[in-house]
Amino acid sequence: MTALSTKHLLGIKDLTPDDIHLILDTAESFKEVINRPIKKVPSLRDITIANLFFENSTRTKLSFELAEKRLSADVINFAASSSSVKKGETLIDTVNNILAMKVDMVVMRHPNPGAAVFLSKHIDAKIVNAGDGAHEHPTQALLDAFSIREKLGSVKGKKIAIIGDILHSRVALSNIFCLQKLGAEVMVCGPTTLMPKYIASLGVRVEHNLRKALEWCDVANMLRIQLERQDIKYFPSLREYTMLFGLNKEILDSLSKEIVIMHPGPINRGVEITSDVADSEQSIILEQVENGVAVRMAVLFLLAGRG
Ligand code: CP
C-alpha cells in the first residue's frame, strides 16, 4: 500500500490500521532524511501550504512549518491573533481568501471541535487537523505511536496508560484511537471529574489510582491539566491534584519495572510531572518532538499523493 485511504487528515478515527502503518513507515524514511547534513528533499516543491493557527501552539506550529520546509513546499503562516478575524471575518471567508492565493493544503488548529471537518466540507484544499478543541490531535497521536514503536520495537501488545485531564484532552482521544488500531491495550487514569462519561465505551481500562496505573503500564503518557478549557472547578486545588496524580521520581523509582515516560507538552513542571522525571533517562519527551517533524513530513507527503 502506497496511498492513504483518506483525502484529508481530520482525525485518527477515519484512518485504517494500514493508513497508520504507512504513515509511520514513511516517517521512518523521513527521520533518516532530517538527520542528514542536508536535511531537505524536493518532494513538495510544487505545493503551497497555509498554516492557520486560531489557537496558541509552539510544538505543532513549528514542527509543521519545519516539515513543510524540509519537503521544499512554499509556506504561508497565519495567526488569528494578528489577523482580520479580529475585525469580524468568518472562518470560511478567511480560508477562501487564503485559498484565492492558490494554496493546495491547509494545516489548521482551532479551539472548536469539528472545525477541520467543517472546513473540509466547504473548500477544495486538503486539510490537516492540527488540533480542534478537545476533539482530535491526529499528528500528535501518530508521533506518539512512532516514538513508542521506536523505543519498544512495536506498539502491538504494549500497555499504555494516559494519565491526567482526559476530559479536555484531544491528545487522549486521538491516542486511544491510534493505539487501539495498532493493537495496544490502553488505560486512562485521572480523577473521576476529569473522565468523560462515555470513556468506558471506547474499550479502554479506567483507573483512578496513579500507582496502580503505573504498575500496569509499559508507557505512561502524562497529560497537562487544561485550565484554559475549564470553566468550573474539577478538583479542589492543583496542590491536591499533584499529590494524587502527579508523577515524581520517588514513585517512579519504587515501581517493580522500568517504564517509558511521555508527555505531549506543554509541560507544567511540578504539577503533573516533576522536573527530575521529565528530564530523566526514562523520559522520551524530546524524542517525541524530534519525531513530530518526520511524522508530519510523512502526512503531508502522503496527502499530496507522493507515496
Ligand atoms: N503538543 C502540542 O500540541 O503542543 P503545542 O500546543 O505547543 O502545539
- Confidence at residue 21, expressed as pLDDT on a 0 to 100 scale: 98
Q: What is the mean pLDDT of residues 34-45?
A: 97
Rounded Cα distance, 238 and 218, in Å? 27
- Confidence at residue 183, expressed as pLDDT on a 0 to 100 scale: 98
Percent of the chain's residues with pLDDT above 70: 100
Rounded Cα distance, 262 and 293, in Å? 17
C-alpha cell of residue 233:
472547578
Label residue 181 by pLDDT band (50, 70, 90).
very high
Q: Decide if pLDDT at 226 tops 90.
A: no
Q: What is the mean pLDDT of residues 80-100?
A: 92
CA distance from start to end of the chain: 9
Judge if pTM exceeds 0.85: yes
Take atom 3 of ligand 1 and give the residue whose Cα is closest.
60
Q: How far is CA 66 from CA 38, 101, 244, 293, 300, in A?
A: 14, 21, 38, 7, 12
Take atom 4 of ligand 1 and give the residue whose Cα is closest.
59
- Three-class SS of the chain: CCCCCCCCECCHHHCCHHHHHHHHHHHHHHHHHHCCCCCCCCCCCCCEEEEEECCCCCHHHHHHHHHHHHCCCEEEEEEHHHCHHHHCCCHHHHHHHHHCCCCCEEEEEECCCCHHHHHHCCCCCEEEEEEECCCCCHHHHHHHHHHHHHHHCCCCCCEEEEECCCCCCHHHHHHHHHHHHCCCEEEEECCHHHCCCCHHHHCCEEECCHHHHHHHCCEEEECCCCHHHCCCCCCCCHHHHHHHHCECHHHHHHCCCCCEEECCCCCCECCCECHHHHCCCCECHHHHHHHHHHHHHHHHHHHCCCC
Q: What is the mean pLDDT of residues 245-251?
A: 98
Q: Decide if pLDDT at 73 tops 90.
A: yes
Q: Which atom of ligand 1 is nearest to the CA of 63?
A: 8
Rounded Cα distance, 233 and 158, in Å? 34
Centre of ligand 1 to C-alpha 62, Å, is 9
Other Cβ atoms less than 10 A from the Cβ of 199: the count is: 18
- Confidence at residue 190, expressed as pLDDT on a 0 to 100 scale: 97
**pLDDT, mean over the chain:** 96
* Selected catalytic residue, list 137, 149, 263, 296: 137
For residues 177 and 144, is the Cβ–Cβ distance under 8 A? no
Task: Give the residues surrounding ligand 1 with Cβ less than 6 Å away.
Answer: 57-60, 131, 137, 140, 264-266
- Confidence at residue 252, expressed as pLDDT on a 0 to 100 scale: 98
Mutation probe of ligand 1 site: the residue of 52, 58, 65, 142 with most atoms within 8 A of C-beta: 58
Q: Which atom of ligand 1 is nearest to the CA of 131?
A: 3
For residues 150 and 129, is the Cβ–Cβ distance under 8 A? no
Other Cβ atoms less than 10 A from the Cβ of 58: the count is: 10
Q: For 46, how many CA atoms within 13 A lie in the half-sphere containing its CB?
A: 3
